[in-house]
């Protein structure tokens, strides 16, 4: 078995980088360098449009390998070059992935060297979208991305920000360093041999997770709640179960299916969630409070629907503070689980998260900026910084499924380190 040092996490890995047409193609040179720095052997395919933005010679010099340009290159195809490239790759990354190449991959087209290699390969595939914000929002592009996700293709990004065309919004390609780290994460958190069953390193471990919002009734027809979709908590439950853990999922009202192998407890209010959490926490190793719990509830729920009054323009509701579920679990003195909280913030992320870590006596806190476009509540993606008492780990913007796999692994590593001490 090849020994891989921490400084070369991609040593022995063959990465096929596909570059499609777009201004972000200029970043591909840095991406090749970043992958090579981590030990990868990189080969590059340029689409005809990409070759208008960056030269094959530049990429050949950086990668140390010939650059693929044409499906109809007689010299390369004499040895069935596209099939050999497809077999060679351990991982395929398309960055930048234009709206056009995403559409062609989604529909199984093979009309150039890149899409032909993708169709002929059984290696994992990731795409890093890069396009104008309106093109990204277009229903056709969103449908194509949904198709890729349903085919287990990884979507890395995009990010939001200023664009070359002058627009501002979602559609920027992730930075090369971010993409290189996502490739590293893939090999770190996935089984190398796809044909074998996935390893179950968490067998025997019990993890409880809260997810989704709570609803606090105002009257029989109205309630106080928030925008949480539950997707992050459900992704964590799915990842933990897939790794062999026995998972209990305490869920507020969401429109999500119960993950396979997971025990689900449905609750509505914060008080319901607290009682469920207390009933399971002491016999679980790890407790992860991912739910977005309402901070306040009505002092008294109106027994009948509150009517709008013609002579009053204002309505005053008397609210009382809800119990702090994660702090209550962290304060247990008997059979206390390793306790992980979440901090959804809109400003001063590090300061607020670290204050909560200390004030609630947590072992870890996972902080995310819900004000950032394209991540957090009701989004398919998220980015998280995990703070411990003496540690900090950043997980870059990525699909919540892959983020959950990385986060569960990180939490378990920190839990096991704590047990050693």
Cα–Cα separations (whole angstroms), residue 276 to 227, 271, 328: 22, 9, 12
Give the helix, strand, coil percentages of the chain, each rounded to 5.
35, 25, 40
Concatenated DSSP letters of 319-384:
EEEPP-HHHHHHT-SSSPPEEEEEEEESS-HHHHHHHHHHHTT-SEEEEEETTSTTSSTT-SEEEE
Collect all residues with Cβ–Cβ distance below 8 Å to 184 and sequence separation of at least 6. 9, 10, 38
Cα–Cα separations (whole angstroms), residue 278 to 250, 287, 321, 336, 342: 11, 10, 19, 10, 18
Collect all residues with Cβ–Cβ distance below 8 Å to 387 and sequence separation of at least 6. 350, 353, 354, 357, 364, 365, 367
CA 416 to chain centre: 23
- H/E element holding 238? helix 231-242
Identify whether the C-beta of residue 231 lies closer than 8 Å to the C-beta of residue 240: no
* Whole-number Å distance between alpha carbons of 24 and 175: 10
* Whole-number Å distance between alpha carbons of 114 and 92: 10
Collect all residues with Cβ–Cβ distance below 8 Å to 240 and sequence separation of at least 6. 202, 207, 209, 247, 408
Instruction: Examine the residue annotation and report whether 366 is marked as an active-site residue of this protein.
Output: no
* Whole-number Å distance between alpha carbons of 37 and 9: 9
How many other C-beta atoms can be found within 10 angstroms of the C-beta atom of residue 417? 11
Collect all residues with Cβ–Cβ distance below 8 Å to 94 and sequence separation of at least 6. 17, 18, 19, 20, 101, 105, 114, 118, 125, 126, 127, 128
**Residues forming a β-bridge with 394:** 385
User: Comparing C-alpha atoms, which of 153, 86, 99, 88 is closest to residue 126?
Assistant: 153
- The backbone torsions φ and ψ at residue 35, rounded to the nearest 5 degrees and listed phi first, read -65, -40
**Residues forming a β-bridge with 368:** 344
User: Comparing C-alpha atoms, which of 119, 138, 125 is closest to residue 97?
Assistant: 125
Which of the residues 117, 165, 290, 366 is marked catalytic? 165
**Residues belonging to the active site:** 165
């Amino acid at each position: 078995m090849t020994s891989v040092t921490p400084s070369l996490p991609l040593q022995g890995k063959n990465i096929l980088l596909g570059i499609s047409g777009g201004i972000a193609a200029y970043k591909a040179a840095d991406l090749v360098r970043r992958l090579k720095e981590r030990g990868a052997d990189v080969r590059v395919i340029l689409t005809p449009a990409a070759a208008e933005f960056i030269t094959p010679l530049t990429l050949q010099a950086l990668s140390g390998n010939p650059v693929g340009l044409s499906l109809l290159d007689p010299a390369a195809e004499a040895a069935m070059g596209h099939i050999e490239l497809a077999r060679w790759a351990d991982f395929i990354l398309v960055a930048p992935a234009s709206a056009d190449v995403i559409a062609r991959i989604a529909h199984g087209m093979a009309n150039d060297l890149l899409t032909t290699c993708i169709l002929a390969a059984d290696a994992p595939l990731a795409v890093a979208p890069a396009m104008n914000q309106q093109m990204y929002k277009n229903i056709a592009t969103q449908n194509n991305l949904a198709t890729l996700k349903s085919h287990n293709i990884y979507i890395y990004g995009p990010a939001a920000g200023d664009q070359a065309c002058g627009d501002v919004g979602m559609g920027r390609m992730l930075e090369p360093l971010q993409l290189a780290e996502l490739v590293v994460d893939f090999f770190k958190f996935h089984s190398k041999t796809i044909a074998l069953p996935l390893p179950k390193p968490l067998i025997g471990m019990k993890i409880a997770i809260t997810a989704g919002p709570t609803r606090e009734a105002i009257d029989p027809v109205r309630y106080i709640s928030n925008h949480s979709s539950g997707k992050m908590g459900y992704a964590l439950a799915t990842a933990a179960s897939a790794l062999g853990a026995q998972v209990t999922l305490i869920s507020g009202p969401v429109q999500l299916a119960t993950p396979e192998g997971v025990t689900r407890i449905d609750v509505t209010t914060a008080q319901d969630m607290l009682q469920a959490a207390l009933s399971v926490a002491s016999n679980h190793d790890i407790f992860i409070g991912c739910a977005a719990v309402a901070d306040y509830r009505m002092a008294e729920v109106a027994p009948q629907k509150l009517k709008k009054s013609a002579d009053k323009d204002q309505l005053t509701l008397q609210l009382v503070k809800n119990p702090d579920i994660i702090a209550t679990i962290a304060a247990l003195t008997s059979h206390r689980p390793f306790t992980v909280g979440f901090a959804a913030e809109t400003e001063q992320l590090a300061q607020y998260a670290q204050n909560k870590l200390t004030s609630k006596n947590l072992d870890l806190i996972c902080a995310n900026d819900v004000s950032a476009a394209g991540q957090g509540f009701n989004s398919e993606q998220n980015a998280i910084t995990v703070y411990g008492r003496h540690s900090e780990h950043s997980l870059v913007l990525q699909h919540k499924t892959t983020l959950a796999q990385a986060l569960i692994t990180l939490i378990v590593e920190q839990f096991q380190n704590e047990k050693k001490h």
